[in-house]
Amino acid sequence: MHERRKITGPTFRLADVALLPLAAVIYGGIFPVNRLAAEALWPPMGFAFAQSLLAGLVLAFAVIVSGGRLAISGAHLRVYLIVGGMVVGLPIGILVSAAPHLDASVLTLVLCLSPILTLFIGALAGLERFDRRVLLAMLLGAAGVVLVALPGVGATGTGSIFWFLIALVAPVMFATANNCAKWLRPPQTPSVMMAAGTLMGAAVVAGVVMLALGSDLSPARWSGETVLPLALATTINAIFFFLFFHLVAAIGPARFSLFNYLAVAAGILWSMIVFDERPVASFWIALILMLAAMYLALSRKPAN
């Protein structure tokens, strides 16, 4: 048991390093999409259910077309439900609920807690070890987030403290899911299959919560404004979750979680594009700090 959890640093491939910022850019788009969903009057849990189900079906189709079949053993179902519930099914409902009360850029800031929590949970579980280089990377990333959040930079706005505190539940779930994706993943399961099953699991969890709360499944009226956020969220989830399982296996949950710093910058940049905001100099300084943070963490030497 101890041998399986021996903590050794992974050897990184250049392709995996390049995929990390790509994952961040893709996932960063989910925050303005959540705001679009809220403005289109999507029920929060209904939106989480619909996007998870559609993205899961798209990936399941990809598995079947490639000659595979969805694994449904007890071990697979467990990770589908746990990771799916904690990375989409529940936090997306929380974030969509908070979206009408907070700026889209403010919601992206909750991601900055995910790397620290991921490392902390991983260390408690014996999956990771605390390392000065990774700690410095996290401090640099946090400094970038703080710089973005400073008053007057145009990236944050006023909002409800209550809803911001509610939104902070999301990074706890993200961090737990990061570790579970590594810890509970059945061996030799392709990433596309894990992504498909996890999104279907997220749909199950979101569906149960939706029924328990008596929430509506969809908006009262369908239009282009309601279809657009659903189509965007489905596309984002289908691509991102494939990258999620591939990268967690390749570089480890703690280092993968550092993508959140880049996702913060990407989410704010997407919000600026979608909602016609203009980036300021401090935003680009913060982005450089986040890139430096990612470099430090990924260049850490393996433990002896």
Using the predicted structure, report yes or no on whether residue 228 has a pLDDT greater than 90. Answer: yes
Give the separation between CA 96 and CA 107, rounded to whole angstroms. 10
Give CA separation, 237 vs 10, 38, 56, 161, 246, in Å. 26, 18, 8, 28, 14
pLDDT digits 0-9 by tens, 193-226: 889 999 999 999 989 988 888 888 889 888 889 9
Using the predicted structure, report yes or no on whether residue 259 has a pLDDT greater than 60. Answer: yes
Residue 28: what residue type? G
Tokens at 5, concatenated: 């959890």
Residue ranges in the chain assigned as alpha helix (H) = 14-28, 30-39, 44-65, 74-84, 91-98, 104-108, 113-125, 132-149, 161-167, 169-183, 191-213, 224-251, 253-257, 259-274, 281-298
Using the predicted structure, report yes or no on whether residue 304 has a pLDDT greater than 70. Answer: no
Q: Average pLDDT of 132-152?
A: 70
Sequence-distant contacts of 210-216: CB under 8 A, at least 24 apart: 210/43, 210/45, 210/46, 210/48, 210/49, 213/45, 215/43, 215/44, 215/45, 215/46, 216/43, 216/46
Q: What angle in degrees, to the nearest 10, is found between the helix axes of 169-183 and 74-84?
A: 160
Q: Average pLDDT of 169-177?
A: 83
The sign of the CA dihedral 108, 113, 114, 116 is: positive
Q: Average pLDDT of 124-137?
A: 69
The sign of the CA dihedral 145, 149, 152, 156 is: positive
pTM (two decimals): 0.72
Neighbours of 100 (CB within 10 A): 15
Give the separation between CA 200 and CA 217, rounded to whole angstroms. 16
Residues 6+ away with beta carbon under 8 Å from 169: 91, 94
The residue whose two tokens read 């889209």 is 104
Q: Average pLDDT of 133-159?
A: 64
Give CA separation, 194 vs 75, 180, 199, in Å. 12, 12, 9
Q: Average pLDDT of 160-169?
A: 75
pLDDT digits 0-9 by tens, 17-47: 778 888 888 888 887 898 889 889 899 889 9
Nearest to 25 by CA among 269, 290, 254: 269
Would you say 82 and 180 are in contact if contact means Cβ atoms under 8 Å apart?
yes
Nearest to 63 by CA among 208, 241, 252: 241
